[in-house]
Amino acid sequence: MRPLVILLILIFAFSGEALLAQDKADTLKFNSLNEVVSLAIKNNPTQAVYQQQINQAKYNYKASKGFIYPSASGSFIGTDNLHLAVTPIPGELIGKPGTTFYAQFGKQFNYGTGITLGQDIIDWQSIFQAEIANNNIKLNELQQDSYIQGLKDQVGKLYFSTLTAKASLQIINTDRLLADSIVNLNRERFNEGTIDAIALNQAIISANNVLQNQAQSQQLYDQSIENLKILLGEKPENDPLLTESLNLESLSIDNNITLNNDKNLDVYKQQIDIAGLQSKSQRSVAYPKLSASMYLGAQQYRDNFGLSFSSNAWNPYRYIGLSLTVPIFTGFTNSNKYKSALVQQNIAQLQYNSAKQQSEINDRLLIKNHNDYFDQVKASASNFKLYRSNLQLTKQKYLEGVIGMDVYLKAFQDYLTAENLYLSNLSTLLSTKATILSRQ
């Protein structure tokens, strides 16, 4: 029994290690924004939908090219002529001049079977439809590229908001220690009778403000992480871990701006091309259509019900045909459809012009906003450090008895205000930076 017990212990031990390894694997570790963006592009659920739409467009294109291949169909027809048609013939043909004889031709039961082959030789409408289907593939691919650009923007915003919240939580831990020390100091002096309840309450209020800032930063962090999971297509229990961090003391942000073409405009341009092909396709309805057909079959005629499979019972029936169809008048339907297609082409062009103009304006504003936010961050970061320095000097003066608690608490509140403003400006700048990075 002892070897069996040892074996079971080893099995449970290795199973426990495997479970621990699995738990560790559930934590997604990222070292940079590029790693997060790459995984989002790979696993984002909407990305999978776009890929399926591209595959569907490719199959539609293959189906639209079916006209270049001949078609073949087999058929079997059985007919019971309940009453054969009669044909009046002159009596002279049968030796009875001056009379009319009504004769019946054919058999009561007719059977026919064969294969019909067809081939379109010239069909301009099918040619244009195939070209439209081919351009729809490119349209779906451009729509996917446009979505990826937006996906990069969303991921970047969430990534930077997570880093900002994490940096805020780190600095708030220091603020809490300072706020608690102020509360403890004021409580001691209140018990000693050197300060009144108002001063103690002000210290507690400042400490509560720090707790409120901490809760807000934690909420921002949690929201960013959970929304990041959605874009990454991850399970709810898998938590992304961002190893990168923002050093608020010596933060360095690249001020270089590079904007590539807006991929949303490529979608509008492709829609113009498709609208042009649709107008050509509609105009081609008035073009002649040339097609060829061939029938290879046999027929059987019987006076009684039944069917024989002997070779002598069947008579060959074959033909070759060439068909030229020229539309002459369709009640102005095709003409109005062609005019409608031209209007749709004009609409696509107007939409592209409007989108292009709006994109250029937005790009100019994006660059201006980035430069303005960059200056704001630099100024607010400098003020944050100065207010923190003032707080330290004020604390020293308070401990030396040079100033009162109200001045010390005012300096602490100014420091918290400068900190919140710095983090807010930094968050706005990084959000703008995420949009710029999505265009690179």
Give the tens place of pLDDT for each residue, 276-307.
999 999 999 999 999 999 999 999 998 888 88
CA-nearest of 262, 270, 281, 268 to 139 is 270
The CATH number given to 28-69+123-288+331-437 is 1.20.1600.10
- What is residue 7's predicted lDDT score, i.e. its pLDDT? 41
| CA pair distance 376, 373, nearest whole angstrom | 5
pLDDT class of 251 with cuts at 50, 70, 90: confident
Q: What is the CA radius of gyration of the chain?
A: 42
Instruction: Over range 312-318, report the average pLDDT.
Output: 91
At residue 386, the pLDDT reads 96
Identity at 123, one-letter amino acid code? D
What pTM did the predictor assign?
A: 0.83
- pLDDT at position 187 over 80: yes
When mean pLDDT is compared across 138-147, 330-339, 426-435, the lowest value belongs to 330-339
What tokens appear for 107 in the block?
A: 């058999």
Q: Is the dihedral of CA 385, 387, 392, 396 positive or negative?
A: positive
> pLDDT grade, residue 10 (50/70/90)?
very low
Q: With contact defined as beta carbons under 8 Å apart, do 155 and 161 qualify?
A: no
351-382 pLDDT, tens digit per residue, is: 999 999 999 999 999 999 999 999 999 999 99
User: What are the respective helix, strand and coil percentages of the chain, to the nearest 5?
Assistant: 65, 15, 20
What phi-psi label fits residue 394: left (phi over 0), alpha (psi between -120 and 50 degrees) or beta?
alpha
Where exactly are the structural domains of the chain? 28-69+123-288+331-437, 78-122+291-325
